[in-house]
Structures are given as structure tokens and as C-alpha cells.
């Protein structure tokens, strides 16, 4: 399992706005612009507004975007660089089979809109014919296996990764799947926004069925049946809060026992067809597969055919003619509020990133991440690690014996910065400019074989789970590692020309956040070797759980949009990480020369600059439908509360901005949550 990091959702969203210039010299640059602030707001009333109010008033979300803000600007810089790389490698003349050729030709093939348009949905016909020929459940499951081989799954979803309880070995895990709406709750909520979305989703099913040749009356009937089938599956799904408990989402089972409990699925056939050899596996959410086993008997074959027809078309819609692209966009924009489709280059860049991401990351890192940059970050990470070690030593709620184990875990962190030691082998991928669809299938088959090659083998701890150019970071509990790719190690999160207050409040906070994930309500359940194994003293554990509950209660009180409030249980791990990240980054900052000699810069004390930097990096303006979607599915709190929640509980912030009783952010000293 991989704990997706703080920006997981942002990272897949790509923006259009050109980057703000960062080419000025250090002397000319100011890292805090008063025009971005709002001095009419008292810092102690709403520090996020105080720091970002001016910017929020002026900010305009580009029509192709769901949001704008600091990390969107970072993404803009990265995208502009990647676009220049793509333009260069796609101009031709690359050595056949080289990363440059594969990346460049896939991009060129995707940009060839004329050829793609002419094909319409021709590339899908092979799959649609297979679906039409289903005679029984066995055929249906054979199709599922066939699609799995090209890395597409519908009702059987398996992943290969470290065993949660034997973290040095790779195993296969089965997860709940099968839905088209963002998660199970969308099928059951009855508020007007959700009802509108359900209606739009059904209409989208009709549209895609019609586009693939089904007559409208038939398509409308099938859409209802497909939706009803998904709703049945959704009923067996665990909620996103239930999924956060690693112990109850782990069930090792022998293959023959799995066959007995869910015989209609025909696991042995599926595994034979997909090249999987195993005796036992982890079935993470067994209820879903029991339900699937029942539905295979009770739901008519005609509904299953419509289900696959729609989902295959949906999966590939972005890779087909504009009729498909626009139909899909028409539905998705209800989820995130974008007004218009991104330009072609940006959509194809995203496809290249998704399918040959390590190749693109390789080209990016070679050009934009010099070894000096790496050393500065490694130093910062080490300072933060020392600060957390020191904090653990001083915790008043943890026993000495548990502290010793926590420190061992911290010491054992694997630290990855910039880019991987070795790059993915794409020698089995073949890319030809005239055949975009086949190119994608080649990438996807290669991806499947790559994942399969890990099964039953020792874990390769050098592997990265995001690419070098990604604007994101993560903690991975089974590796006990923190990972910071080149993409996020740039201004304004990290700027070699900025003072320490800015960098510790920026990337320092990010690093501290990821470190704290090793000790949040999920991460704390894994030991230093990445095994799901309790290492806590009994009363330490009880105090930990009580603190985590307090954090959840605090965040559940924040109302974001009309009556929609933060789900404190869903966001608990991220909020704990934000609170810990703040403390660790601040403590590490206090060890720097700037913090110690307390000279003001631009009239601000070092502490004030640190807190302002932290509030600046979370600056974001999002469309209401995007906010609503994120509140429902994103384990991160909305940006404003990622600033307010942690600061309300942090006394040095009160001191730096003279926060007093009566100010809206004020909490009495005895009510402030002191965690890590």
C-alpha cells in the first residue's frame, strides 16, 4: 500500500497559465508580496486570509482549470519545461528504441489529430465485438482477464506490491472496484448536487453507448440497468473511511479457498490467462468479491454486455475522436467545474506522462535537476529528521520504551530525493507515429508485464511510485520511506535564493509532513521494516488514539461549502501530518542562523516569515464543484484549513502574531492539541 501524499489530487491536474517569472536576481526578489496579503484581516482571526486575501481577490481560475494557486504555478513551470522537451524529442531523428524516440513518437502520434479523427472509434471495435459475443459468465471473465493483460480492469482489480505483514516480499492483492462514480457514497447520497451528478452520469452512459452504435431507446434502458448494477456493487464497497484501516483491509487467503467462496468468478482460469502463479493472496475487501460472485448469477448477460461496452468506451474515450473526447469532458466538468477542455498538447502530454512517465521523468531530471540541488535538499531532510528525533525525545505522552522504538523507526527512514537510481526498461514497448492507439496498448501491456514480474519476488526498495517530474511527495509505509521528486523541489516550495524562513515554511513543512505520515494514525501501525505490526506500549497507544480522535473532532467542525463540512475521520492522517509537519519544520528552522539572530527582513521577524511562507504555499482558489468533490473523496483538508487547523494549535504562532482571546483562531492553551 502506498500512502498517497499531500498533493495527490493536485498532481494529476494540469494547468494552462504560463508560469510566473522566477528569473529575477536575488536582490530584486521579494518572497512575500504585500499585494497578496489582506491587512484588513487580523492574523489571529483568519491567518490564511491575512496572508492570501489580496491574491484571492484578484485570482482568476483559467477556463481549462478546476483551481489555481501556488502548486498550480509550480506545475506550470514543470509543464512548460516538459513541453519544450516533448517538442524537441518529437521533431524526429531519434535512435530507434531510445527513451527520446519512444517519448517523442508517442507525443507526435497523439498530436496527429487528423489520423485519430479519421479512425473515430475504429480501435474499439475489436473489444466491442468480443463483448457482443459473450455467451456466458465464463466468456465475460475471460474478457476481464484479456483486458487485465493490457492493464485495464473492470470488476477484477489486482495489484502487486509489498506484503503488509512481510514487507520484503511482493504479493498480489485484490481490491474492490467496478464503479464509474468517484466512490460508493455517490450512489446513495440524496442531496441535490449528488442527485444531479447521478443523472448526468446516466446520461453520459447513454451518450457513449449511442456513440458506439447502440440505438438511443435501447441505450437509455441499458443505462438504467448499468447504473443499478453499479449501485449493487457500491453497496458492498467499504467507505473511504473504512478503507483507511490497514488491519481490516488485509486478508491472506489460499487460492483454493478463494475458489470455494466465489466459484463463479473462476479465479484459476483468470490467473492462468493473465500469467499469475500463486498459492495464496491478499483479498483486501472480500465483501465486494462475494457480491460480484452473486451478481454474475443474478444480472442478465445483456446488462453485463452494456456495462463492459460503456466502461471500455469510457476508458479509451480520451484516446479516440473528438466526439468521444468532448462527451467525456462534458460529464467530467460537472465533477471539477472546468469550463473548457485543455488544449491538445496538454492532454497528450498527460497521456505520455501516464504511459511512459519514467522516460519523461528521466529526460526532465537530466536537464533540470543538478546534483547541487539534490545535496541541499538532502541536508534539509537530515535537519528535519534530527528535529523530529529531538521532538520524540521530549514528548510528554509517550513512554521511554516506545520512544526508543519510534526513534529507531525514524532512523530507518529510506530517503529518496530527485530521481530514481535506475530508470525503467521500456525495451518491450514499440511506438510508431502512425498508430497512436496501438502505441498506448503496447505501453499498457508492458506495464502489466512489469508489475507481474514482481510477483513472488523480493521487494526492490529502490523503486519509485511517482515520476521524477511529479509535483508531489509521499511516504510509503511498507518501505518506511519518504520520497521527494525533482518536480516539487522548486520555487516557491524550495528556492535556493530565498531565506531559511521561506524554505523551512515551504519545503520544510512538506518534508515534515511526509515524515509525520510514518507516525500518523495509519503509518504508526507499521514498524521500522514496513510491517503491519504493533510496536506501541498499551497506554501509549491509548493516548495516541485519543489524540488522533481530538484532531478528527477539530477538523469535523470546519464547514467549507454551504452545509458541507470536513470529514475529520477521512482526513485524520493528513491533518496529523500537517500538524506534525509544522512542528518539525519550525523546530528545524529554529536551529538556523536566521532564526537565532532574529534580524527582520522587510519588517518581518524570522518567525513571522516562516508562518507566512507556510500560508503562502497553500494558497489556492478552486471552483465550487471541485471543492465539493474533494471534500467527498480527498483525504486532505481544503487548503485554508491546512493552515488554520495546525496554527490554532501551535503556541509559537500565537506569540509571533500576538493572537489573543477573542480572536477567531484562539484556543485556550489547555485545549491546544500537542501531538508530534
> Which positions lie near Zn ion, rule CB under 5 A?
5-6, 574, 577
Closest CB 8 distance from Zn ion, rounded Å: 8
CB 261 within 8 A of CB 206: no
Nearest residue (CB) to Zn ion, 436 versus 641: 641
CA distances from 265 to 53, 151, 198, 233 (A): 56, 19, 29, 15
- In sequence order, the 6+-apart residues with CB closer than 8 A to the CB of 111 are 90, 344, 345, 348
DSSP class of 280: E
3-state secondary structure of 564: strand
CB of 580: closest distance to Zn ion in angstroms?
Answer: 10
* Shortest reach from residue 203's CB to Zn ion, in Å: 35
| Of 514 and 663, CB closest to Zn ion | 514
Which residue, 109 or 577, has its beta carbon nearer to Zn ion?
Answer: 577
3-class SS of residue 120: coil
All three cell numbers of 479, joined, read 518501505
Cα 628 to its chain centre, rounded Å, is: 17
Minimum separation from the CB atom of position 71 to Zn ion (A): 13
* Closest approach of Zn ion to the CB of residue 483, in Å: 12
Distance CA 628, CA 614 (A): 24
Query: Between 380 and 515, whose beta carbon lies closer to Zn ion?
Result: 515
Give burial (CB, 10 Å; 0-12/13-18/19+) of 90.
Answer: buried
Give the DSSP H or E segment for 159.
strand 157-163
* Shorter beta-carbon distance to Zn ion: residue 15 or 575: 575
CB of 18 to Zn ion, least distance (A): 29
Cβ proximity to Zn ion: between 237 and 244 the closer is 244
Q: Closer CB to Zn ion, residue 6 or residue 316? A: 6
Contact 616, 54 (CB under 8 A): no
Nearest-approach distance from CB 639 to Zn ion, in angstroms = 13
Residue number, 43 or 581, with CB nearest to Zn ion: 581
Pick the closer one to Zn ion by CB: 452 or 584.
584
Residue 63 burial class via C-beta count within 10 angstroms: exposed 0-12, middle 13-18, buried 19 and up? exposed
CA separation for the pair 437, 431 (Å, rounded) = 10
Q: Which of 493, 581, 614 is nearest to 71 (CA)?
A: 493
Q: Among residues 94, 52, 69, 82, which one has the least CA distance to residue 17?
A: 69
Q: How far is the CB of 439 from Zn ion (least distance, A)?
A: 34
Closest CB to Zn ion among 391 and 513? 513
Q: How many of the other CB atoms lie within 10 Å of CB of 443?
A: 26
CB count in 10 Å sphere of residue 202: 16
Q: Compare residues 100 and 574 and give the one whose CB is closer to Zn ion.
A: 574
Q: What is the rounded CA–CA span in Å between residue 676 and residue 668?
A: 19
CB of 513 to Zn ion, least distance (A): 6
Read off the C-alpha cell for 56.
484571492
Cβ contact 353:110 at 8 Å: no
Q: Which residue has the cell 465533477?
A: 335
Shortest Cβ 517–Zn ion spacing (Å): 5
* Three-state SS sequence of 8-24: HHHHCCCCCCCCCCCCC
CB of 87 to Zn ion, least distance (A): 34
Q: How far is the CB of 579 from Zn ion (least distance, A)?
A: 12
CB of 4 to Zn ion, least distance (A): 7
Least distance between Zn ion and beta carbon 475 (Å)? 7
> Are the CB atoms for 318 and 347 separated by under 8 Å?
yes
Burial letters for 223-242: b for 16+ Cβ neighbours within 10 Å, e otherwise? Answer: bebbbebbbbbbebbbebbe
Query: Which residue, 3 or 102, is less far from Zn ion as judged by CB?
Result: 3
In the complex with Zn ion, the residue whose CB is nearer, 520 or 540, is 520
Is residue 519 within 8 Å of residue 580, measured between CB atoms? yes
- φ, ψ dihedrals at 436, nearest 5°: -55, -50
Parallel, antiparallel or unpaired: strands 166-175 and 620-622: unpaired
> Of 230 and 514, which CB lies nearer to Zn ion in the complex structure?
514
d(CA 676, CA 258): 42
H/E segment holding residue 206: helix 192-211
Q: Which residue is nearest to Zn ion (CB)?
A: 6
Residue 506 has what DSSP assignment? I
Separation between Cα atoms, residue 252 and residue 193, nearest integer Å: 39
Amino acid at each position: 500500500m502506498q500512502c498517497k501524499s499531500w498533493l495527490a489530487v493536485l498532481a494529476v491536474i494540469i494547468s494552462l497559465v504560463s508560469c510566473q517569472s522566477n528569473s529575477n536576481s536575488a536582490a530584486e526578489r521579494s518572497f512575500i508580496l504585500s499585494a497578496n496579503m489582506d491587512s484588513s484581516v487580523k492574523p489571529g482571526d483568519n491567518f490564511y486570509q491575512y496572508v492570501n486575501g489580496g491574491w484571492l481577490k484578484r485570482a482568476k481560475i483559467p477556463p481549462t482549470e478546476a483551481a489555481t494557486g501556488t502548486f498550480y504555478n509550480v506545475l506550470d513551470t514543470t509543464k512548460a519545461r516538459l513541453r519544450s522537451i516533448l517538442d524537441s524529442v518529437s521533431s524526429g531523428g531519434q535512435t530507434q528504441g531510445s527513451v527520446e524516440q519512444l517519448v517523442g513518437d508517442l507525443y507526435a502520434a497523439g498530436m496527429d489529430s487528423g489520423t485519430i479523427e479519421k479512425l473515430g472509434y475504429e480501435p474499439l471495435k475489436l473489444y466491442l465485438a468480443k463483448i457482443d459475443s459473450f455467451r456466458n459468465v465464463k466468456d465475460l471473465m475471460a474478457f476481464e482477464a484479456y483486458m487485465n493483460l493490457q492493464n485495464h480492469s473492470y470488476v477484477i482489480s489486482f495489484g502487486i506490491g509489498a506484503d503488509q505483514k512481510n514487507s520484503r516480499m511482493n504479493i498480489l492483492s485484490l481490491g474492490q472496484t467496478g464503479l464509474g462514480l468517484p466512490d460508493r457514497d455517490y450512489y446513495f447520497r440524496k442531496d441535490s448536487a449528488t442527485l444531479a451528478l447521478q443523472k448526468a452520469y446516466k446520461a453520459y452512459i447513454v451518450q457513449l453507448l449511442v456513440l458506439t452504435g447502440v440505438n438511443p431507446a435501447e441505450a437509455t434502458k441499458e443505462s438504467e440497468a448499468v447504473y443499478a448494477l453499479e449501485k449493487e456493487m457500491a453497496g458492498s464497497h467499504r467507505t473511504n473511511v473504512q478503507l483507511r484501516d490497514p488491519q481490516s483491509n488485509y486478508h491472506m487467503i489460499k487460492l483454493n479457498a478463494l475458489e470455494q467462496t466465489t466459484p463463479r468468478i473462476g479465479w484459476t482460469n483468470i490467473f492462468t490467462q493473465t500469467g499469475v502463479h500463486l498459492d495464496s493472496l491478499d483479498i483486501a475487501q472480500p465483501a465486494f468479491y462475494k457480491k460480484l460472485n452473486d451478481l454474475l448469477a443474478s444480472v442478465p448477460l445483456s446488462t453485463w454486455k452494456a456495462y463492459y461496452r460503456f466502461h471500455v468506451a469510457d476508458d479509451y474515450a480520451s484516446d479516440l475522436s473528438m466526439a468521444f473526447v468532448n462527451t467525456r469532458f462534458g460529464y467530467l466538468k460537472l465533477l471539477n467545474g472546468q469550463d473548457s477542455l485543455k488544449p491538445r498538447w496538454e492532454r497528450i502530454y498527460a497521456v505520455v506522462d501516464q504511459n511512459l512517465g519514467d522516460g519523461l521523468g528521466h529526460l526532465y531530471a537530466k536537464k533540470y535537476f543538478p546534483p547541487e540541488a539534490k545535496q541541499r535538499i538532502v541536508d534539509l531532510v537530515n535537519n528535519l529528521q534530527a528535529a523530529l528525533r529531538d521532538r520524540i525525545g521530549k514528548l510528554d505522552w509517550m513512554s521511554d520504551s516506545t520512544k526508543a522504538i519510534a526513534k529507531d523507526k525514524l532512523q530507518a527512514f529510506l530517503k529518496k530525493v530527485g530521481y530514481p537510481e535506475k530508470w525503467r526498461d521500456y525495451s518491450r514497448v514499440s511506438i510508431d507515429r502512425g498508430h497512436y492507439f496501438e502505441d498506448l496498448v503496447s505501453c499498457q501491456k508492458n506495464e502489466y508485464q512489469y508489475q507481474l514480474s514482481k510477483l513472488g519476488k523480493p521487494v526492490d526498495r529502490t523503486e519509485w511510485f511517482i515520476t521524477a517530474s511529479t509535483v508531489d511527495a509521499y511516504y510509503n509505509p511498507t518501505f518506511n520511506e519518504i520520497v521527494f521528486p525533482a518536480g516539487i523541489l522548486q520555487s516557491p516550495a524550495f528556492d535556493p535564493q530565498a531565506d531559511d524562513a521561506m524554505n523551512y515554511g515551504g519545503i520544510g513543512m512538506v518534508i515534515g509532513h511526509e515524515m509525520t505520515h510514518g507516525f500518523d494514525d495509519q503509518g504508526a501501525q507499521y514498524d521500522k521494516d514496513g510491517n503491519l505490526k504493533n510496536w506501541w506500549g498499551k497506554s501509549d497507544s491509548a493516548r495516541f488514539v485519543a489524540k488522533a480522535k481530538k484532531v478528527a473532532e477539530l477538523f469535523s467542525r470546519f464547514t467549507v461549502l454551504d452545509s458541507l463540512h470536513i470529514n475529520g475521520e477521512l482526513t485524520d492522517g493528513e491533518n496529523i501530518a500537517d500538524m506534525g509537519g509544522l512542528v518539525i519544520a519550525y523546530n528545524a528552522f529554529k536551529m538556523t542562523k536566521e532564526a537565532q539572530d532574529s534580524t527582520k527582513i522587510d519588517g518581518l521577524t524570522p518567525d513571522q516569515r516562516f508562518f507566512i511562507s507556510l500560508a503562502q504555499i497553500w494558497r489556492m482558489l478552486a471552483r465550487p464543484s471541485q471543492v465539493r468533490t474533494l471534500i467527498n473523496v480527498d483525504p486532505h483538508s481544503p487548503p485554508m484549513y491546512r493552515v488554520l487547523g495546525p496554527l490554532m494549535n501551535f503556541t509559537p504562532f500565537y506569540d509571533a502574531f500576538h493572537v489573543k482571546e477573542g480572536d477567531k483562531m484562539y484556543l485556550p492553551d489547555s485545549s491546544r492539541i500537542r501531538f508530534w
